[in-house]
Amino acid sequence: MLSDRTSSHSSRLALLVGLAGVGVGIVAGFLAGAKPLLLVLALIAVPTLIFFFARFEQAVLGLLIVRSALDVFSAQQIPAAFGIGFILLTLLYVTVRLLTGQAVRTDWFCWFFTAWIILQGLWLILLPLGALGMDASFLPMSIRDWMRTLLWPVVYWLVMQLKGRIHPEKAISLLFLSAIAPFTVASMQLFLPPSFVPFLLSTDERIKGTFAHPNVFATYLLLLIALICWKLERSHKHWPWLLLLGVLAFFFVSTRALFSLAMLVTFVLGLLAPRLSLPKLIGGVVLLLLVIGLFVSTEFGQERLLSLTNTPLLNPDIDISRAILLSQGDHNSFNWRISQWDYLLRAWQQFPMFGYGIGLSIPVAGNGLLPHNDYVRALVEGGVVGLVSFLALFGAMFLRLIQLLRYAPSGSAQQQLCLILLAFIPAILVGMITENIWSHTTLFFYLSALLAIAGWNWNEPRIT
């Protein structure tokens, strides 16, 4: 029976390979006469597919590691090409396994994530029908944003297929390799003259590593800090991780992202709350003092904190109306945010139920800028229905982690990872109040992978 089943699987796979070969031949013939460059790309895709199926674990982990190095090539559309390729590879892999009668790893969050992204496609249908605040000419922009978000459940699906093939702790340890390229470029930005790396610096000389914006680098660093806190719980040798934590704190402050301090405070509080102990309290306080102290010690940090005194947040003499007026000339980013939110919320009231369309808050604003508040963005782009679905996604993340936490052995690595992620997600929700976290594609790319890993079988012998 076993040999018959193996023979059947081999026959199906041979048929698929044969059909794929015919398809590649036809496409190659067409491309050779059309665009030679496309033919080169097609020829590169063939060995990539072979390696992907022959060395599945290494291929997936390699794709996860390399993603952090791609944003610097955004002008060449490399991140977009990577995302599309990642989606196609996942669909092909799942299809082949289904056609050959092999198991596909899933869980209820897999299906929720899939249903959620399908629901987001509703706005792609409503837009050309004239049911939203924008017309059909903006459909390509909406599709691009939907495709960017589609990558996150696809990452979850693909990483779930590694379940049982590699130990979870080893997989997470390998994810630290994704920091090599960002750290290398960030070091160049910090220690080399600007003339050496002018194309890598942001306009205000904030470091951004290999990412499109310093704020994206900041949230990526915060995720690494969270993973290091998890490693400190598991490792017998603390000093290498403490040293790396110090390096991360230095880069974290050098991004000059004030919102990231609020995220860090939220994460530390969330981490300490479930099991408060003196060592953890001391460690959390030291980490906060280190980062806040480094931030306040810089001239930029002092200016950013001082600017808060000219906002309704810390100045009772300035109300929202006055802050909006001041925003026109005081160059205070906090007052500008209030003005931006006020304008967008008034625009949302014209299309309250379904909003203007996915990814269309920039044309709604009319100034080429995102809302700098993801709740306002969700409301403007998706209306009340969109905001509810937006919050439902994070609610489902909480439920999944709490479920895993209940069944994980006490004190296990899986339990500690769930606690780390349960502390990290509120930090994201806090950062979304004043920042465009929803646009930080790399952050959600790695968060989706970690959520999948948290649901693996952790009962195998520990791999260090």
pLDDT of 24 over the 50 cut? no
Q: Does residue 249 sit in helix, strand or coil?
A: helix
pLDDT of 291 over the 60 cut? yes
Cα gap 222→232, rounded to integer Å: 15
Please give the C-alpha separations between residue 107 and each of 118, 237, 249, in angstroms, as whole numbers.
17, 35, 36
pLDDT of 18 over the 50 cut? no
User: Percent of the chain having pLDDT more than 70?
Assistant: 84
| Tens-place pLDDT, residues 296-317 | 777 777 777 777 777 776 677 7
Cα gap 287→104, rounded to integer Å: 42
| Tens-place pLDDT, residues 142-192 | 999 999 999 999 999 999 999 999 999 999 999 999 999 999 999 988 887
pLDDT of res. 199: 54
pLDDT of 201 over the 60 cut? no
pLDDT of 26 over the 60 cut? no
pLDDT of 193 over the 70 cut? no
pLDDT of res. 60: 95
Average pLDDT over residues 196-214: 72
b/e burial code for range 71-109 (CB count within 10 A of at least 16 → b): bbeeeeeebbebbeebbebbeebbebeeeeeeeebbbeb
What average pLDDT is seen over the chain? 85
pLDDT of res. 273: 78
pLDDT of res. 276: 64
| Tens-place pLDDT, residues 329-343 | 667 788 889 999 999
Please give the C-alpha separations between residue 330 and each of 25, 259, 343, in angstroms, as whole numbers.
62, 20, 18
